[in-house]
Amino acid sequence: MIKNFKEKYVKNLFFYHIYRFVKYKFSFFKSYGATGEDVLLNKIFKNHKGFYIDVGALHPINGSLTHNLYKKGWSGLNFDIDEKNIKFFKLFRRRDSSFRMAISSSKGKVNSYIFTSGSGLNTLERSWAEKWSKLIDKDYFVQKLNKTTLTSVVKKFKIQNRIDLLNIDVEGHEIEVLNGSDFKLFRPKIITIEIHVKKTEDIFKTRIFKILHKNKYELISHYYHTCFFKAVEFEIETL
């Protein structure tokens, strides 16, 4: 009844439009994601307090897809190959657990290719490092570190049924992360992952898309390099 009254009378008033203008001028959603991806995440998980895994987390605030969720009371696991990045997470994300660890397709040791601490180009892929080294005319150095799989992480922390969001941003190592993930054991509701293509239509030709599609995830959005995949059994009620 109140909703019908608002639709019929209030929304037609001139002052209502002034109110809307002032409201959104001074009260807007602040994004921390590199291209605003966390705006959509906030809509998907509106009024929900959940759990995330952030692989290639980089920074607890700048460019983070999970910072707004953390501010809403979420918590989760963060993984990055840069020790200083993890120190920042431990400082600013006290509810989270954060680890300097490579997530890949198997356990063991792996080389990481580091340009500078905090660089978004740091990677586990030598070909990626070589390409960017030439493009930006900057050398990288090699560090060896431990690697594990997402499946092992999920089993260790016993979080099979807790994961709402899985974010993967690993500069060319995405396939290895997915190959180390048993999506029959755990089913994140939403997976955000970088796919570097020139045209949106090219996404459907990539190995990433085919792996996720095979595991019953459907593409629902594309923000520049970041693709949003939804588990087929998850219903988004807030959009």
- 27 is written with which tokens? 């009260």
Return the pLDDT at 6: 52
User: Please, are residues 214 and 201 in contact by the beta-carbon 8 Å criterion?
Assistant: no
Q: What is the domain partition of the chain in residue ranges?
A: 31-101+158-231
User: Please, are residues 173 and 147 in contact by the beta-carbon 8 Å criterion?
Assistant: no
Nearest in space to 143 (alpha carbons), one of 176, 174, 117, 164: 117
What's the number of CA atoms in the CB half-sphere (13 Å) around residue 136?
Answer: 13
Backbone angles phi, psi at 144, to 5 degrees: -95, 135
- Along the chain (239 residues), what's the average pLDDT of each consecutive run of 10 residues? 51 57 58 89 93 97 95 97 96 97 98 93 95 95 97 97 97 97 98 94 97 98 94 90
Return the pLDDT at 128: 94
State the residue for tokens 């992360």.
177
Strand order from edge to edge, sheet including 108-114: 102-103, 141-148, 108-114
Say how far apart CA 208 and CA 91 lie, in whole Å: 33
Return the pLDDT at 30: 81
- 6 is written with which tokens? 């608002």
Return the pLDDT at 15: 58
Backbone angles phi, psi at 79, to 5 degrees: -130, 135
CATH number of 31-101+158-231: 3.40.50.150
User: Please, are residues 227 and 219 in contact by the beta-carbon 8 Å criterion?
Assistant: yes
C-alpha distances (whole Å) from 172 to each of 6, 118, 124 are 51, 17, 8
Nearest in space to 203 (alpha carbons), one of 179, 221, 230: 221
Return the pLDDT at 34: 84
User: Please, are residues 67 and 61 in contact by the beta-carbon 8 Å criterion?
Assistant: yes
Return the pLDDT at 17: 58
Say how far apart CA 144 and CA 65 lie, in whole Å: 27
Return the pLDDT at 21: 53
pLDDT tens readout for residues 176-198: 999 999 999 999 999 999 999 98
Strand order from edge to edge, sheet including 97-100: 97-100, 75-80, 51-55, 165-168, 190-194, 226-231, 217-223
pLDDT tens readout for residues 68-92: 999 999 999 999 999 999 999 999 9
